[in-house]
Structure 1
Amino acid sequence: MGTQNFSDRNCIEDRRYQKFYAGQVAHAYGFTPCVVKVNNRMFFEHEKEVEFLLKYKHENIIALLGYCNEDQGIIVYENVSKGRLSKYLMDMDPSITWMKRLKISIGVAKGCAFLHTSGVEMHGIEDIGLVINSILLDGDWNAKICPYSQSLLDEHPYDDAYNKLEYFRLYLSKRQGIIYSLGVILLKMLGGRPRHRWDSDPNVNIDNKMLFPGTKEPISQQSVITFENIAMRCLQEATEASEVVRQLEKALEFQVSFHNFLQKVTNHQDLNVIIIFRGVLNKKYHTITDC
């Protein structure tokens, strides 16, 4: 598997009961990069994960390249070179722009929609671990759901009152189903908290710096509102997974339109157009539809 006998130099993540290694899978045409997970305990979970990945195949669910059930539980995944999504959110990495967050969220929602229509919830999802830390990213920022990849305690060690609440909220999300869990993930993508004080008034200016510290990217207000509304619907009412995907794609369309509009105005030499544009911004409208 090209891990140099599980050398520490190839270890890319050392978790409580799991280690992840960068490796390579040999084939007739050479080598393909991969990620190898070694379970140090809980072999039953290893067997359930292998069974899950053999049964449920989708472009937004991590692909199983191989596994071994002897001694330690070993699973070989497709290459996810950018690692866990949670790291970028926790570090407030400005490279994960709103546009990327939208595309990643759509990928996660499509994976969840596939699971939701495949009967996973009939068998219970308590052990799958569908939380923000189970979302991995490949080299093109495509989301890959990686079930059983960590425990809630790994994501939110409850060493204070806040993390205790987070722990029980995430535990509840696992018990209530895939769509509820997806809503929790979407709120994490939005900055971890709902937009209570903004309601749905398109004239209210959204403080992008508060949502995404460090961002320099102009963000469409309608995009954010559409995104948050569907996230909250996932938590509050029965919502079809396909509708979640549609609303997230609509949020992406708003952002793309806004970006294209800014590009046209920035490159336009007509002074009248620039004056009109500035007047619109002064009124705190942020989308081409508002204009």
Structure 2
Amino acid sequence: MTTTIAKFAHLQIPLEDVVKATNNFHHDNIIGRGGLGHAYKGQLQRSGELITISALRLDRKHGGGVVEFWTEVSMLSDLKHPNIVSMVGFCDEEHEKIIVTTYEAKNGSLKEHLRNPNFTWTQRLKICVGVARALNYLHYDEGRGYGVIHLNINSSTILLNEYWEPKLSGFKVSIKQSLNRMDQVVLSEPIGTIGYLDPEIGKTKGVTCKSDIYTFGVVLFEILCGRRAYIKNDANSLLAPLVMHHYENKTLADIIHPDLKNQMSLHQISLTSLRIYSETAYSCLKEEQAHRPHMLNIVNELEKALEKALKFQPRPENFVRPVFVFLFFLYAFNFIFICS
């Protein structure tokens, strides 16, 4: 028996369409494995158009997951933002529960590129700005009439499309809250991934939008340091206390990703960009929730950091070389003309 909630009926996709789109959930089409189940890539015919999709199939073997399923459906059905995954629909049929979104991970997740030596500072900043804008939309967009506390921000839930634009996903544990109560505690057990958990949850016995600020701060330092928030069996297994220590002792440069430091040096990117970025990231990790910045302030600061980085970027090599060649021949021509 279907458990479809009437308000989402227009988003229902027949099971046979999803089976056809994913080639009967063929293992070659698996693109992700998460807490709810496997995600499959596929081609779905929708309104006369063939679109590439990601189908998250609830794992029935372990039971549970139904609440998380409907939470994600409820959230994604309302959310429309260029930096958030777009919902296509869902399937709730024959004991199958499947969430279908547009395929947004052509370049995988952010987690896969943290140590990528070719992942430039400006690329990283653009991703940070995109995610920050998505979070500001979640927290304070008045068009919806309510705010959303994501509670699952990490480098795995930030997907990167073909243009390296970020798409925030992973809304299975998100909470809706009145816009005028976003800073007030919602009673909750500690929710999230190890390494990202807001340490204040244990004290306040709940979460606020500032819990998202903390987890985003961890992601910002993952991007800067080129390492995961949590590394099992490592002397410094947790990134957050490590960066706090180095920032406060003015030794942050010691743990910045080496390739990133080289890029900054070679490309002469303004250190102002790095200063703004690191100050912003550090402020997100403040122990007391009330001392963490508002999401809009974070967006503004990261946009400033990106602006500085772009301003001091060198001109591309393929632009510099033709200009150099042109000037060389112009000089040579004038020299020959004078001598003659």
TM-score (norm 2): 0.63
**Given the alignment, which residue of 303, 307, 311 partners 1:253?**
307
Q: In the TM superposition, what whole-angstrom CA distance separates every residue of 1:159-206 from its partner, at most 9, and x where no partner exists?
A: xxxxxxx365579499343323322222222225537556799xx995
Q: Contact 2:41–2:53 at 8 Å: present in 1 too?
A: yes
Look up the match of 1:163. none
Look up the match of 1:75. 99
Q: Which runs of 5+ in 1 are unaligned?
A: 157-165, 270-291
Look up the match of 2:77. 54
**Given the alignment, which residue of 12, 21, 42 partners 2:65?**
42
Look up the match of 2:87. 64
RMSD value, Cα: 3.7
Identity %: 26
In structure 2, relative to structure 1, the CA distance for the partners of 1:170 and 1:7 (3 Å cut) is: farther
Shift of 1:251: 0.6
Say if 2:224 is the partner of 1:190.
yes
TM-score (norm 1): 0.73
Letter in 2 for 1:9: D
Tell me, in whole angstroms, the C-alpha distance in 2 between the residues paired with 1:239 and 1:32.
39
Q: Which runs of 5+ in 2 are unaligned?
A: 1-17, 175-189, 226-238, 325-340
Look up the match of 2:164. 141
Shift of 1:52: 0.5
Shift of 1:154: 9.3
- In the comparison of the two structures, how many residue pairs are matched? 253
Q: In the TM superposition, what whole-angstrom CA distance separates every residue of 1:15-40 from its partner, at most 9, and x where no partner exists?
A: 35410111112145542111111111
**Given the alignment, which residue of 263, 267, 286 partners 1:217?**
263
In structure 2, relative to structure 1, the CA distance for the partners of 1:179 and 1:15 (3 Å cut) is: closer
Say if 2:213 is the partner of 1:179.
yes
In structure 2, relative to structure 1, the CA distance for the partners of 1:14 and 1:181 (3 Å cut) is: closer
Give secondary structure in 2 for the equivalent of 1:32: strand
Shift of 1:6: 0.4
Tell me, in whole angstroms, the C-alpha distance in 2 between the residues paired with 1:96 and 1:213.
12
Q: In the TM superposition, what whole-angstrom CA distance separates every residue of 1:49-95 from its partner, at most 9, and x where no partner exists?
A: 00001122211111101111222221111111122111222xx1223
In structure 2, relative to structure 1, the CA distance for the partners of 1:186 and 1:43 (3 Å cut) is: same
Larger Rg over CA atoms = 2
Q: Contact 2:68–2:173 at 8 Å: present in 1 too?
A: no
